């Protein structure tokens, strides 16, 4: 486990977000990979998305970072934003929707100090925040899937943030403002604690599912976008990311959520864009693919002027990929 700079008082230098990723959480991708932690076995499937995650893994090998902050749609809370607040969790995660695909034995550590700092910054900004201190708590499968796919070694502590239901309790517009504020609070906490953080926004794009699955779940002949409309919206949104037009993306987000039944309604991507200061630089799209009809993109934002020491010695940056241009 890497040491965290702020563990012994004030950081020597301000922390920073070294990279942010749209890192969706279909359990199918873990199932398809057959890691030892997951009980079910598969014949593969969803390769393009998994190749995209390989690019993420390579990128993280090239970065010096000490914590992963993940915002997950599958930890749903109404009264405020909750953060994991126990140093270690070890248990079995069974997906309540796809238990046939995902029964994963996890063992993870939490950067509690950073979680507390995010909660405090959020509260200062007027948000309701709460630390989750119950050691019996089962970490949601969205958090586990995204973290596994990005960093299967589990060698960095994480900060897990719940998905507040502000979009559902009020409106898409109110939810967006809430998540942007949480993103800014996250950034301030990272800077204040001296962390070098990687951020994962664990939501898919279009999100209407098929309501049946093939007898062999990884039968790729059954996989395609739920509708042409969903696909068109996904491509539009991805194009905005590739061109660095995230302000426009946020402007259009409420429509995207409604028209494409987007999982962005759970707020993860907006939180990430808020933390990154609403990027005006191009994102790298590592992959796009559908999972049981929903649209999923693996996307990277690498802030253009990170603090010194970005590249770890002897580790090459990922190569150019076919979908998203130069990495």
The phi, psi pair for 77, rounded to 5°, reads -135, 145
Cα distances (angstroms) measured from residue 309 to each of 18, 64, 65, 182, 196: 10, 7, 10, 27, 10
Stretch that binds other proteins, among 58-66, 165-173, 280-288, 299-307 (CB under 8 A): 165-173
* Binding characters for other proteins, 2-41, by CB under 8 A (x = yes): ----------------------------------------
Task: Please report whether residue 248 would count as binding other proteins according to CB under 8 A.
Answer: no
Contact 30, 104 (CB under 8 A): yes
* Binding characters for other proteins, 197-216, by CB under 8 A (x = yes): -----------xxxxxx-x-
**For residue 153, with 0-12 CB atoms within 10 Å meaning exposed, 13-18 middle and 19 or more buried, which class applies?**
exposed
Task: Please report whether residue 303 would count as binding other proteins according to CB under 8 A.
Answer: no
For other proteins, the closer CB: 57 or 232 = 232
Q: Count Cβ atoms below 10 Å from residue 312 Cβ, excluding itself.
A: 12
For other proteins, the closer CB: 41 or 228 = 228
Least distance (Å) from other proteins to the CB of residue 103? 6
Least distance (Å) from other proteins to the CB of residue 219? 8
Q: In sequence order, which residues have a C-beta less than 8 Å from that of residue 251 and are 6 or more positions away? A: none
Task: Please report whether residue 233 would count as binding other proteins according to CB under 8 A.
Answer: yes
User: Which H or E element spans position 192?
Assistant: helix 172-193
Q: Which single residue is written with the structure tokens 């199918």?
A: 28
Least distance (Å) from other proteins to the CB of residue 80? 7
Least distance (Å) from other proteins to the CB of residue 85? 10
Least distance (Å) from other proteins to the CB of residue 208? 6
Least distance (Å) from other proteins to the CB of residue 125? 14
Which of 51, 229, 282, 310 binds other proteins (CB under 8 A)? It is 229
Q: Count Cβ atoms below 10 Å from residue 279 Cβ, excluding itself.
A: 20
Q: Which single residue is written with the structure tokens 């409420």?
A: 254
Q: What share of the chain is helix, strand, coil (3-state, %, to 5)?
A: 35, 25, 40
Which of 159, 166, 246, 264 binds other proteins (CB under 8 A)? It is 166
Cα torsion through 230, 231, 236, 239, rounded to 10:
140
Site for other proteins in 118-137 (CB under 8 A): 128, 130, 132-134, 136-137
| Best CA proximity match to 321, nearest among 29, 24, 54 | 54
Which of 44, 92, 124, 315 binds other proteins (CB under 8 A)? It is 92
What is the DSSP code string of 213-229? --SSTT-GGG---S-HH
Site for other proteins in 262-281 (CB under 8 A): none
Q: What residue ranges bind other proteins (CB under 8 A)? A: 75-80, 82, 92, 94, 96-99, 103, 128, 130, 132-134, 136-138, 140, 162, 165-166, 169-170, 208-213, 215, 219, 221, 226-230, 232-233, 236, 252, 255-256, 258-261, 292
């Amino acid at each position: 486990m890497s040491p965290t700079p702020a563990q012994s008082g004030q950081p020597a230098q301000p922390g920073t977000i070294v990279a942010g990723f749209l890192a969706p959480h279909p359990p199918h991708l873990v199932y398809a990979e057959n890691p030892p932690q997951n009980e079910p076995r598969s014949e593969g499937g969803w390769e393009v998305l998994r190749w995209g995650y390989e690019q993420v893994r390579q990128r993280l090998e090239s970065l010096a970072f000490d914590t992963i902050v993940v915002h997950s749609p599958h930890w749903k809370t109404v009264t405020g934003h909750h953060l994991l607040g126990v140093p270690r969790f070890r248990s079995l995660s069974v997906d309540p929707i796809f238990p046939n695909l995902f029964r994963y034995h996890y063992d993870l550590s939490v950067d509690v100090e950073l979680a507390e700092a995010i909660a405090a910054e959020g509260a200062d900004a007027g948000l309701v925040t709460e630390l989750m201190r119950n050691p019996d708590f089962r970490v949601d499968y969205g958090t586990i899937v995204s973290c596994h796919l990005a960093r299967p070694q589990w060698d960095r502590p994480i900060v897990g943030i719940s998905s507040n239901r502000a979009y559902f309790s009020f409106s898409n517009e109110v939810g967006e403002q809430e998540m942007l504020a949480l993103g800014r609070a996250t950034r301030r906490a990272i800077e204040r604690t001296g962390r070098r953080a990687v951020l994962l926004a664990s939501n898919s794009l279009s999100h209407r599912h098929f309501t049946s699955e093939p007898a062999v779940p990884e039968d790729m002949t059954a996989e395609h976008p739920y509708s042409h409309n969903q696909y068109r919206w996904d491509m539009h949104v991805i194009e905005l990311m590739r061109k660095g037009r995230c302000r426009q993306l946020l402007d259009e987000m409420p429509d995207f959520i409604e028209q494409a039944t987007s999982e962005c309604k759970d707020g993860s991507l907006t939180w990430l864009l808020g933390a990154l200061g609403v990027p005006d630089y191009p994102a790298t799209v590592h992959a796009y693919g559908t999972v049981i009809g929903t649209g999923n993109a693996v996307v990277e934002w690498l802030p253009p002027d990170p603090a010194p020491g970005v590249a770890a010695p002897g580790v090459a940056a990922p190569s150019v990929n076919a979908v998203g241009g130069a990495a």
